[in-house]
Amino acid sequence: MMPKVQVKKLNEKAVLPTYGSAYAAGADLYAVCEEDIVIAPSQTVLVHTGLAMEIPEGYAGLIYARSGLASKRGLAPANKVGVVDADYRGEVMVALHNHSDKEQTITCGERIAQLVVAPFLRVDYAETQTLSDTVRGEGGFGSTGTK
């Protein structure tokens, strides 16, 4: 059974998230604005979606870049992955950052990011003086090889 996400339109121009294909993991989020949004190089702008939603308990809404927008125009969420918690009821917004060296324009109704609703585990954190041994041990970034 597919979990349901209740979505409330906060703006009459808002568009419910849509999937681009039958097997897409992420649903597109759309910009809601009164006029086009210009994002200067290295600037971050908070873009409205006009939507609030009720993510089911035990799930999180994860906001990712749209690959075409990021690779062709340098626009991606400033925080890399936005998180919409199950108890958040405010407007879902996307902090779009312009990584390019050119001004970029977001048009009203444009697809600006994608939302993946995924289950997660909450854990209890317990302080300890020792951790179990592993082959990797304390090896950090790049320690498992380059292949």
Q: pLDDT tens digits, residue range 115-127?
A: 999 999 999 999 9
Q: What share of the chain is helix, strand, coil (3-state, %, to 5)?
A: 5, 40, 55
Q: What is the pLDDT of residues 25-71, one digit of tens each?
A: 999 999 999 999 999 999 999 999 999 999 999 999 999 999 999 99
The residue ranges of every structural domain in the chain are 6-114
Q: Is the pLDDT of residue 141 over 80?
A: no
pTM, entire model: 0.89
Order of strands, sheet of 91-98, starting from the edge strand that comes earlier in the sequence: 6-9, 44-54, 91-98, 75-77
The pLDDT mean for the chain works out to 95
Cα distances from 129 to residues 58, 126, 132, in angstroms, run 30, 10, 11
Quick one: pLDDT at residue 59?
Answer: 97
Q: Does the 6-114 domain belong in CATH 3.40.30.120?
A: no
